Structure 1
Amino acid sequence: MPTKAELPEGPRREFVEELFTHYREAGRPPLRTIARWIQENWEARSLRGTASTETIRRTLTGTVVPRNWSTVEAILEALCGLAGRDPGEDRWPDDNWVNYSFKDELKKRWNSVLDHYETELPTLPPRPSPPAPAPRSSFGDPWATAPAPTSSRFDDEPPF
């Protein structure tokens, strides 16, 4: 679990804490074991997503929060499978007021991270206005150069 200096308080830390709870429950398996479990059980569990060892590492450290729920769900299924638990179990069985499963709780925290992230997106500066069209010459030739102003003493011709 990252330190508070590495991952400060907020929705992202809460998401990682919830996922890390399942990682601890599974006995802190190596990342390759988690990725292999996903590959081996992908069809049997009807998983819609997958995750590489690097994605799993970055998710568990809070470096990245996957944008697709199917990726997070695959990681959760693997951790619960390795721990011998069902992701549909009640997260807080002693609480009669809240009926959240492990999956429901993790999805709530995942959504919270993405919602919080969406509100912090920087805005782009306004687009510059297009340049004003060049004045057209009186005779309508688009390739002609505009005549020099008469009040100027500048001449394009060399002095020799």
Structure 2
Amino acid sequence: MPQILRMPSEDELPRGPKRIFVSELFTYFRAAGRPSPASIAAAASRVPQPARVTVSRETVRRLLKGETTSTWPKVKVVHEVLCQMADHDPTWRRFPDSSDYDEENDTRTLREYIRDLWNDAVDGIEADDGPPQLAPVPEASPPRTPAGGWGSNAPSGGWGASQQQPPQDDPWATGAPQKKISSQQAYSDEPPF
């Protein structure tokens, strides 16, 4: 008798975006009555699709165990099969109007929501983290090169050529020595125009 798949423990699949994705997929798997990976793969081969996507029972098992995130076409087919087996429509709203959740009236469908979670799992980011940063901003200045090249102080007419130091009497300038203002002299709140 084949072993029934269970949601991976936190030791097998630690907390994070991949676990959230697998947990959502398991919601549909449970609602479908925990079908075997072979029956899911067989049903996936019968789903009408523009481009033929083949899903093996091993891919289904690995998806449900959190061992892979696979590709979106394969995840979409598995999700649609599970929805069909559970008598759910993938175009239903994931969060219908309810008192326990209404974050800015979230109208994502079951399909849109699982795709968002899949993207988060692939990128390795939490849903609330926002988009991943592609590269950190360097803290050190670039090395100085001779003859006005990249990183030199020589004016080249390009970016930074018109940059000037703040006036020495500007009280808001950072790092500039400030001129002492006498009690008789004051700044006007009126704009200069």
TM-score, scaled to structure 1: 0.67
Q: Contact 1:19–1:60 at 8 Å: present in 2 too?
A: yes
Aligned to 1:64: 68
Verify: 1:3 aligned to 2:6, yes or no.
no
Higher helix share: 1
Aligned to 2:117: 109
Relative to structure 1, the CA distance from residue 12 to residue 94 in structure 2 (aligned partners, 3 Å threshold; closer, same or farther) is same
Cα deviation code 1:30-54 (max 9, x no counterpart): 111111111122x3x5465331000
Relative to structure 1, the CA distance from residue 21 to residue 47 in structure 2 (aligned partners, 3 Å threshold; closer, same or farther) is farther
Determine the C-alpha separation between the residues in 2 that align with 1:87 and 1:49: 18
Q: Contact 2:40–2:82 at 8 Å: present in 1 too?
A: yes
Cα deviation code 1:101-134 (max 9, x no counterpart): 11111100110111128x7xxxxxxxxxxxxxxx
Q: Contact 1:92–1:100 at 8 Å: present in 2 too?
A: yes
How many residue pairs were aligned? 115
Determine the C-alpha separation between the residues in 1 that align with 2:88 and 2:12: 30
Q: Contact 2:62–2:68 at 8 Å: present in 1 too?
A: yes
Determine the C-alpha separation between the residues in 1 that align with 2:122 and 2:36: 27
Could you say what secondary structure the match of 2:46 adopts? helix
Q: Contact 2:63–2:69 at 8 Å: present in 1 too?
A: yes
Relative to structure 1, the CA distance from residue 55 to residue 23 in structure 2 (aligned partners, 3 Å threshold; closer, same or farther) is same
Aligned to 2:43: 37
Relative to structure 1, the CA distance from residue 52 to residue 20 in structure 2 (aligned partners, 3 Å threshold; closer, same or farther) is same
Alignment map for 1:6-25 (pairs within 5 Å): 6-25=12-31
Determine the C-alpha separation between the residues in 1 that align with 2:64 and 2:79: 11
Alignment map for 1:130-149 (pairs within 5 Å): none
Q: Which amino acid aligns with 2:117?
A: R
Determine the C-alpha separation between the residues in 2 that align with 1:100 and 1:91: 6
Verify: 1:49 aligned to 2:56, yes or no.
no
- For residue 28 of structure 1, the aligned residue among 10, 31, 34 is 34
Higher RCO (CA-CA < 8 Å; seq separation 6+): 1
CA deviation after TM superposition for structure 1 residue 29, in Å: 0.6
Aligned to 1:93: 96
Could you say what secondary structure the match of 1:40 adopts? coil
TM-score, scaled to structure 2: 0.56
Gaps of 5+ in 1: 120-160
Q: Contact 2:28–2:83 at 8 Å: present in 1 too?
A: yes
Determine the C-alpha separation between the residues in 1 that align with 2:66 and 2:97: 29
Could you say what secondary structure the match of 2:63 adopts? helix
The runs of at least 4 consecutive aligned structure 1 residues that moved more than 4 Å come to 45-48
